[in-house]
């Protein structure tokens, strides 16, 4: 089995252009073959119909020039419609069948024509047969097409003297065969030429249509070499999801690396001050009690700083493509814990969540996002918190998400919104906290290309945090 798979992989076409060319060539060959077959069949039917009409005209012309004597002998008054009727074995033959015998053209003298058995056709009856076997004047075998027309003779006007007769006109099949051969030769020549021209045109069209793909490969190569920071936005509509995904992946990776570097740099810079304070206290010669107190303060401060930087680092580096995480179950888990922490306040959290509302990202990011927003609402609320989650549908794209957290607390003044969203800044220094929750929310929303809006809740009177995550690719 492995050998078969290896052989298949060896011969499998890995080039998209080669696959398209092979498919186009196969389709073109099949189309030309069917077209050639159809045209040949149509021409053959037309040629047979033309032959029938030509033989009918010969028979009609003979019928106009035929007379019979009193003893019912055949007499042809007119010249034959075609000189070949007077040439033995010419390929064009006449037979007139009467009740008491038959008459032939001079051309029928010599060849052994198909036997009609003295068959008389009914008046106005017509038959067309062929090809029928015959023997040529030189003894070789051949074939003819035969047309028959049934007539009635009434020369003296006496009904008793009327009698039926039949005119048979035959033509050698070689004339029709030569005509068909000539047509087929011309047909396949022109179809073959048209096929070659179409293959060349298809090659040019395919190369032109695949040019955007080659352009994408070149841009991606420039990004890999560091010559470009991202792929351009000027691509065909069909390639936009691909290039957008690549750019999102590049930006996500760059943001993740930048976040790691910034986290380490910020952590190192933030720890300098507490360490310097400790060093100063050690050098100052303070007693053990004061030194212990200062040591405890600075250690707590360093712990808070480390927690902040780790939380900041954890807020980035989400996966670009992730399974949908339900909102309601995650929210219930978070609210259950917060209700225990803030049990003394008796805060009631209400949900208005769509059944299909999902977060397309990592579950940890949703925990951080909802956890910080809800904790902030519980911290400031008097008695009520409202969580709203709705889907945002955009055609066939992955649905977006609208999250709204409101409370009935004092709210945030418009002038203080920018300050509250800064890292390490608390809305009220009297309230316990590190002032990093909303900054983590901002970082998460930025990573998911979303938007955060802070305002006053018209329904509840407190703060209103609205998170909008756009539809996915």
Q: What pLDDT, in 10s, does the model give residues 173-194?
A: 988 888 889 998 998 899 889 8
Tell me 168's DSSP state: E
Range with lowest mean pLDDT among 241-250, 254-263, 361-370, 446-455: 254-263
HSE-up of residue 153 (Cα within 13 Å, Cβ side): 25
In this structure, the chain runs to a length of 473
405, burial (CB in 10 Å: exposed 0-12, middle 13-18, buried 19+): buried
Token pair 């001079």: residue: 106
Token pair 């970082």: residue: 443
What local confidence, expressed as pLDDT, does residue 271 receive? 66
User: What ranges make up the beta strands (E) of 375-429?
Assistant: 384-392, 400-407
What local confidence, expressed as pLDDT, does residue 145 receive? 94
Percent of the chain with pLDDT over 70: 80
Q: What pLDDT, in 10s, does the model give residues 275-286?
A: 766 666 666 666
Distance CA 259, CA 312 (A): 8
Tell me 382's DSSP state: S
- pLDDT averaged over every residue in the chain: 80
Q: What pLDDT, in 10s, does the model give residues 188-247?
A: 899 889 889 988 888 888 888 777 777 777 888 877 777 777 777 777 777 777 777 777
Peptide bond between residue 345 and the one before it cis (omega within 30 degrees of 0): no
Distance CA 193, CA 176 (A): 26
Q: Are the C-beta atoms of residues 316 and 443 closer than 8 Å to each other?
A: yes
- pLDDT band at 107; cut points 50, 70, 90: confident
Token pair 């579950």: residue: 363
Q: What pLDDT, in 10s, does the model give residues 142-152?
A: 999 999 999 88
Residue 143 contacts by C-beta under 8 Å, 6 or more apart in sequence? 130, 131, 132, 133, 134, 172, 173
Is the model's pLDDT at 263 over the cut of 80? no
Phi/psi region, residue 445 (left: phi>0; alpha: psi -120 to 50; beta: rest), is: alpha
Closest of 85, 132, 130, 126 to residue 109, by C-alpha: 85
Q: What pLDDT, in 10s, does the model give residues 410-447?
A: 988 888 877 777 654 444 444 443 345 677 788 788 88
């Amino acid at each position: 089995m492995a050998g078969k798979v290896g052989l298949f992989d060896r011969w499998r076409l890995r080039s998209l252009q080669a696959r398209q060319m092979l498919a186009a060539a196969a389709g073109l060959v099949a189309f030309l073959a069917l077209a050639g077959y159809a045209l040949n069949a149509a021409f053959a039917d037309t040629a047979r119909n033309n032959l029938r009409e030509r033989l009918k005209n010969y028979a009609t012309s003979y019928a106009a020039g035929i007379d019979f004597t009193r003893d019912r002998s055949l007499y042809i008054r007119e010249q034959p419609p075609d000189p070949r009727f007077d040439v033995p074995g010419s390929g064009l033959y006449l037979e007139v069948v009467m009740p008491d015998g038959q008459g032939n053209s001079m051309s029928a003298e010599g060849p052994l024509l198909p036997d009609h058995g003295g068959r008389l056709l009914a008046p106005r009856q017509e038959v067309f047969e062929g090809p029928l076997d015959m023997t040529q004047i030189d003894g070789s075998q051949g074939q003819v097409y035969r047309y028959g027309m049934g007539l009635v003779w009434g020369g003296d006007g006496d009904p008793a003297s009327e009698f039926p007769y039949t005119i048979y006109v035959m033509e050698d099949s070689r004339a029709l065969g030569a005509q068909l051969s000539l047509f087929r030769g011309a047909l396949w020549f022109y179809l073959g030429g048209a096929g070659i021209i179409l293959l060349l045109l298809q090659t040019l069209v395919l190369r032109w249509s695949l040019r955007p793909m080659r352009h994408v490969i070149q841009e991606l190569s420039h990004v890999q070499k560091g010559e470009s920071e991202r792929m351009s936005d000027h691509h065909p509509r069909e390639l936009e999801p691909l290039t957008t995904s690549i750019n999102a992946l590049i930006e996500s990776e760059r943001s993740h690396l930048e976040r790691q570097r910034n986290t380490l740099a910020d952590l190192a810079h933030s720890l300098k001050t507490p360490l310097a304070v400790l060093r100063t206290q050690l050098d100052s010669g303070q007693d053990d009690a004061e030194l212990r107190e200062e040591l405890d303060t600075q250690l707590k401060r360093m712990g808070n700083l480390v927690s902040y930087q780790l939380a900041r680092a954890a807020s980035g580096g989400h996966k670009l493509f992730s399974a949908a995480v339900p909102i309601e179950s995650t929210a219930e888990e978070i609210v259950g814990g917060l209700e225990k922490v803030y049990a003394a306040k008796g805060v009631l959290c209400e949900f208005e969540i769509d059944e299909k509302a999902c977060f397309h990202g990592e579950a940890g990011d949703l925990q951080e996002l909802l956890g910080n927003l809800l904790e902030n609402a519980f911290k400031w609320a008097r008695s009520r918190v409202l969580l709203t989650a709705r889907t945002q549908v955009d055609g066939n794209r992955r649905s977006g998400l609208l999250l709204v957290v409101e409370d009935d607390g004092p709210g945030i003044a418009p002038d203080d919104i920018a300050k509250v969203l800064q890292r390490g800044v608390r809305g009220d220094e009297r309230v316990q906290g590190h002032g990093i929750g909303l900054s983590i929310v901002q970082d998460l929303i930025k990573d998911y290309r979303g938007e955060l809006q802070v305002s006053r809740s018209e329904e509840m009177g407190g703060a209103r945090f609205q998170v909008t995550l756009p539809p996915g690719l």
